[in-house]
């Protein structure tokens, strides 16, 4: 069976950033330093969010966040950090 639906396929190039965790995360240092732990963030092709891939001692994890969820996450972390300063 042959399909000629190539006109419906759109090729996208997405922005991404990659970092090894050995310089950022205590759990990725020491014995795990050479295990290749990493974090990668890729913007969605439609620009409405991010794919976050983490590979570390806990295995592979994949997190999807919209811009709104990302903003809410930042707000929660900011609130926690602020509460530490007032205690």
Per residue in 21-79, pLDDT tens?
Answer: 988 888 887 677 777 899 999 999 999 999 999 998 889 999 999 999 999 999 999 99
Question: Is a pLDDT exceeding 80 seen at residue 3?
Answer: no
Where are the domains positioned within the chain? 11-86
- For residue 1, name the pLDDT band (cuts at 50, 70, 90): low
CB 19 within 8 Å of CB 39: yes
- Tokens for 25? 């995360």
With 0-12 / 13-18 / 19 or more C-beta atoms within 10 angstroms meaning exposed / middle / buried, residue 32 is middle
The whole-model pTM stands at: 0.75
């Amino acid at each position: 069976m042959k399909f000629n639906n190539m006109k419906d396929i759109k090729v996208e190039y997405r922005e991404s950033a990659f970092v090894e965790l050995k310089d950022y995360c205590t759990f990725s240092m020491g014995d795990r330093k050479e295990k290749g732990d990493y974090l990668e963030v890729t913007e969605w092709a439609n620009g409405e969010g991010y794919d976050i891939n983490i590979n570390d001692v806990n295995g592979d994890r994949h997190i999807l966040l919209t811009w709104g969820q990302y903003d809410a996450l930042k707000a929660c972390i900011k609130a926690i950090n602020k509460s530490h300063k007032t205690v």
